[in-house]
Amino acid sequence: MAVSDIQNNKLLTFVNGIHPKDYKELSNNCKIQRMPFVEEYTLPLGQHIGAPSKSIVQKGQYVKRGELIADSVGFVSVSLHSPVDGIVSDIGIFDTPKGDVLPGIKIKTDRFSTQQFHQKAVDFESLDVNGFIKSIQNAGIVGLGGAAFPSHVKFAIPEGKNCKYLMLNGCECEPFLTADDRTMVEYPKQIIDGLLIVNHFLKAEKIYIAIESNKPKAIEVLSKYAEESNSNIEVVTLKVKYPQGAEKMMISAILGNEVPSGKLPIDLGVIVANVGTIKAISEYFRTGMPLIERIVTITGTSINNPTNVLVPIGTPMDEILEFCGGIKDNTARILLGGPMMGAVQKNLNVPVVKGTSGLLVLSSNEVKDFDQYNCIKCGKCLDACPLFLNPSRMGLLAKKGLWDEMLDFHVMDCFECGSCSYVCPSGIPLVQSFRVAKGILREKSIRDQNK
Ligand code: SF4
Ligand code: SF4
């Protein structure tokens, strides 16, 4: 498949991958609901990849909605803002969704405030590229697909490279999650606007909006607005396949080119941006609102009212579940994110952070313990791996603790999509063992560097 196939109306895709049931119907028709403000918000300082932000407020200080409360530290870092008018009620160490504790700021909501937002639009046309990069960093904007990688770093094109294609990742291939789908359906103008603002600086020849075919409304509405924009934006429909939304798979589907091991999309002249991120960029430049809220999918068979919720960053997860009617008695597991790449969430008294895309509430009918058997060399995991790795072989090496040998099989390229584990008839926890192996190898590499 390649760009020429787009004209032929073929459903583009990558090689390998899997076809899990998508369960999107639980929430893909639910209009995004804005959740009422709650009593208190917790803002961890390190909710993005890179150096945590540095607090600039003091306990007892009154802050306005959208006001800077923590500054970026270095280039790979972003600012943090108050999600409400309120008072800094605590500065300390708090539980985070990752299961660790981190320095953070608590803000008690001013119950008498209307929470009206008073910042002003930012004139992007008066900025040069550096001004644009700095603005995105100051607005605290990160990739909202889950990784929370600072967007300004992605948009800062290294010298000697250029961006030929800007791609909007509207695939949302994780089963159950529908926040991006609803965002595309309900905020198409902002998405087209955000893409054009970004491309004012990147100057890509072509902008692709990539959407899987199970989101027909999003395809329809964005195609209409793209056409009306009279620009170089084109909506491309991709086949429903997991992990279609992984950057490398999306690029391979559209351009027919592989991003080589150890290289980045920009090495092929591509920059990929998430739907929520592009909406946030439009909002920032048009209204001055930094990244202080996001859309989160609350779904699963064990939540009473599955839906998509617009919440301020820092909202406690248990209050969002309550807002969605609460969890049912037969709830067996809650995942942060989707079923393929999500992590078990045990503590619900933690906040939504910038990278929180969804909460999946599963019942005891869906959560099963699998028996584990020896590898029968069926090769299904090899056929599933989108990166053509050898999960079977890596699994055997992991079982023996032969971490260094796993490097020869490119374990560090594995992006933990879980496709191999999903298809394994022997129930071998492949992706789990690769996660452990990567952690051990990373630590070893740091130790070796510090010798
Ligand atoms: S988890 Fe890693 S090894 Fe398994 S299919 Fe995904 S990329 Fe391949
Ligand atoms: S899918 Fe499982 S049983 Fe089959 S080759 Fe891979 S690891 Fe072995």
Which SS3 state, helix, strand or coil, does residue 88 take? Answer: strand
Q: Is the CB of 381 under 6 A from ligand 2?
A: yes
Q: Span 40-109: which CATH code?
A: 2.40.50
Cβ neighbours of residue 174 closer than 8 Å, sequence gap 6 or more = 242, 245, 337, 338, 339, 340, 341, 342, 357, 358
As a whole-number percent, the residues of the chain with pLDDT over 90 amount to 90
Confidence of residue 449 (pLDDT cuts 50, 70, 90): confident
- For residue 409 and ligand 1, the question of a CB distance below 6 A is answered with no
pLDDT in tens, 294-341: 999 999 999 999 999 999 999 999 999 999 999 999 999 999 999 999
Residue 258 has pLDDT above 80, yes or no: yes
Supply φ then ψ for residue 189, to 5 degrees.
Answer: -60, -45
Q: Would the CA dihedral through 238, 208, 152, 412 be positive or negative?
A: positive
Helices first, then strands: H and E counts in the chain: 14, 17
CA 384 to ligand 2: nearest atom: 1
- pLDDT single digits (tens) 171-214: 999 999 999 999 999 999 999 999 999 999 999 999 999 999 99
For ligand 2, pick from 370, 371, 375 the residue to mutate: most ligand atoms within 8 Å of CB.
Answer: 375
Q: How many angstroms does the Cα of residue 418 sit away from the middle of ligand 1?
A: 6
437 lines ligand 1 (CB under 6 A): no
**Domain segments of the chain as ranges:** 3-23+121-287, 40-109, 295-363, 380-450
Note the pTM of the prediction, 2 decimals.
0.94
C-alpha 388 to ligand 1 mean position (Å) = 8
Residues 6+ apart with CB under 8 A from 448: none
Q: Give the per-residue pLDDT at 8.
A: 52
Domain range 3-23+121-287, its CATH number among 3.40.50.11540, 3.90.1150.10, 3.40.228.10, 3.10.560.10: 3.40.50.11540
> Rounded to an integer, what distance in angstroms lies between the CA atom of residue 231 and that of residue 427?
49
CA gyration radius for the chain?
A: 22
Ligand 2 atom 7, closest CA? 392
Q: In angstroms, what is the span from residue 242 Cα to ligand 1's centroid?
A: 11
Compute, in angstroms, the gap from residue 427 CA to the centroid of ligand 2: 8
Q: How is domain 295-363 classified at the CATH fold level?
A: Ubiquitin-like (UB roll) (3.10.20)
According to DSSP, the β-strands at 68-71 and 86-95 are unpaired
Ligand 2, residue 380: give the atom nearest the CA: 1
Alpha-carbon distance 274 to 173, whole Å?
A: 13
